[in-house]
Chain A
Amino acid sequence: MPDHSSNSNEVDIEFRNATKRFENVVAVDDVSLSVERGAFFSFLGPSGCGKTTSLRLIAGFDQPSEGDVFISGASVVGIPPHKRPVNMVFQQYALFPHMDVAENIGYGLRQRSPKPDRQDITRRVDETLEMVRLSGYGKRRVWELSGGQQQRVALARALINHPTCLLLDEPLAALDRKLRREMQIELQTLQRDVGITFILVTHDQEEALSMSDRICIMREGRIVQSGSPRELYDEPLNRYVADFVGKTNFFDGEIIEARDSAITLKSESGQVLVGVQPKKAAPLVNGSRACVAVRPEMISINAADKNVGDDSIALHGEVMNRIFLGEHSEYLVATVEYGEVMVLSPKSVENSNRSFAPGDRVSLSWRPESVLVLGDT
């Protein structure tokens, strides 16, 4: 008996230099990655960056033009979808319209040989319906269900087969905001309960950040960076990632001094900016262009006349807009030096200090050791 139990480092899905070419586009370009068994993994990227194609390489709807794809350690290149131990939840659900809910969910079991007997199928369909909180809906027609219910049927139809890995292609894109939030939580709980590897495709960074253990950020078919949500947020390797994950202010400049990871930039207006380079990023050289990335919550906002500490970098400007977000206030400040800058100010500071209204003159400051200097690629 092979031991399937608790080796958490076991690799479930692996790409080795996988490339997928269509007539004149390279949809997936030399991608290598591995996904651990039981992980919640996300592909994140803008439209057309090759997320769906990556998923289809795992499901078997497309075959790599070059390279290799492995499931549980075995190469699956050339193996048709119906012989692969993974299941997919489609973006528009793709429920069979000529079957009722129970028939849809039992579909995968009925294809097995030997076919499980009728009572067995019925029992497992009922269990799965209960798992997705749709008990009693078995006899409904699928088109009578709401979007959220259809989505749960699609999930049940895949999960009933106990796949080693579940593939989800933007499963929540068709749902409204509130329902999407609920389903995100449900999916996460479900994934922990069943212990199956989930691979999610999304272009919604918030969704990826809140749900996944690991995220792989793609651009034009290539992986830009992969890591835990924390890593991606705290240590983006370049401007693209920082821009994609969370909100960021970028201040461009030319590098005038690069000592180890401490970098000094000079902006076009002549201001000197400093910051540190992420540990894993490719080293930056003197004279090249780069930017300082400052998250809105790292900036403190003060009245223009107030003195800030010596080692802080200060910009001056005028408040253009303030949005009250409950726990935070979001300011848009037009600075003399860099144009619009976004600032997130927590409620505690708002209360003890003072809050600002449009038209107020303010100064913005941050501590240089807490900001990153990033290259463009």
Chain B
Amino acid sequence: MRIYAIAVFLFLYVPIGIIVLFSFNAGRHASELRGLSIQWYGKALSNPFVGDAFTTSLIVALSVAVLSSLMGTAAALALQRLKGSLRVLFDGLIYISVMIPGIVIGIATLVALVTVFDFLNPILASLWPEGVKPPKLHMGYASVIAAHTLFTMSLVIILVRARIAGMDRALIEASMDLYATPWRTFYQVTLPQIYPAILAGFLLSFTFSFDDFIISFFVAGANTTLPIYIFSSIRRGITPEVNAIGTMVLAVSLILLMTAQFLLRSRVNR
């Protein structure tokens, strides 16, 4: 049993360890280790394609994180007031949307968007005055952000819901009793109580979006996010530069995930 467990862990972590190790490789081939250096980090950071992909990923991930924490929190607060079978239905839908594989979300969003675009573009073209080039809807930032948000919003809802459930309802009543309007009660009492969950949701959404390859691959259109860039450059062979990029993504993700974990562990009432 123990050997089995060790084997699983080795299988999981050794490849990651190797990538990290080889990212410090001084040689130019990915397969042989020739001393340690950080030259590939320099190369990667100065590569304009990497820079562009990184910027794209950053824009997408930040938008996703902001949108899903705002909408997810609002949805969680609204769901809290829902009663009966409607609530069960929404709870179910939220959990399902977290469990749906990325590839399904990717394909579904792609098909849905393409259909809508094909339907809307001719209408837009006919509405626009003669001689002016009509706007044309296409895959881009908006479609990736929308597809990612679809998934991460559910994460935020689940996290915030759990926090609200652990919160003392009497606090809100106490605030109302002490003359605070509903809005003031929200930002003076509710928000300070649930913000760790919102922040954790923000970080998880960011990490998910920043790391995601599958959904982005389907709906990103001409935009290249960092994972897409890595994927396409691997086809030209694995270089220590790719390892360096991978290691950086890994480090950032781990830091964000651990911060989120820390926030979620902080006690509800402190």
Contact = CB atoms under 8 A, between A and B. Distances in A.
B177 A111 contact: no
A90 B168 CA distance: 12
Contacts of B235: none
Given A94-B168, A98-B193, A111-B184, A161 B174 contact: no
Interface residues of A, number: 26
Given A94-B168, A94-B171, A80 B176 contact: yes
A108 interface: yes
Contact of B176 (A82, A92, A96): A82
B170 interface: yes
Contacts of B168: 92, 94
A177 to B, nearest CB: 25
Contacts of B182: 80, 82
Contact of B269 (A82, A88, A143): A143
B173 A97 contact: no
Contact of B178 (A91, A97, A108): A108
B270 A111 contact: no
B195 to A, nearest CB: 10
B181 A82 contact: yes
Interface in A71-112: 80-83, 86-88, 90-92, 94-98, 107-108, 111-112
A94 B178 contact: no
A98 B182 CA distance: 18
Interface string A151-162: 000000110010
B170 A94 contact: yes
A107 B270 contact: no
Contacts of A59: 173, 177
A96 B179 contact: no
Interface in B167-208: 168, 170-171, 173-182, 184-185, 188-189, 192-193
B193 A157 contact: no
Contact of A161 (B176, B179, B270): B179
Interface residues of B, number: 21
Nearest to B267: A97
B63 to A, nearest CB: 30
B83 to A, nearest CB: 10
A98 B270 CA distance: 6
Contact of A82 (B170, B171, B180, B270): B180
A83 B270 CA distance: 29
Contact of A61 (B173, B185, B269): B173
B269 A97 contact: yes
Interface of A: 59-61, 80-83, 86-88, 90-92, 94-98, 107-108, 111-112, 143, 157-158, 161
Interface of B: 168, 170-171, 173-182, 184-185, 188-189, 192-193, 269-270
Given A60-B176, A87-B177, 11 more contacts: A59-B177, A82-B177, A82-B180, A82-B181, A88-B174, A92-B168, A94-B168, A95-B174, A107-B188, A108-B178, A111-B179
Q: Which 10 A-B pairs have CB atoms at the shortest separation, nearest pair first?
A: A94-B170, A108-B178, A94-B174, A111-B179, A81-B176, A97-B269, A98-B192, A111-B180, A82-B179, A88-B177
11 contacts: A59-B173, A61-B173, A90-B173, A92-B168, A97-B193, A97-B270, A98-B192, A107-B175, A108-B179, A112-B179, A158-B178
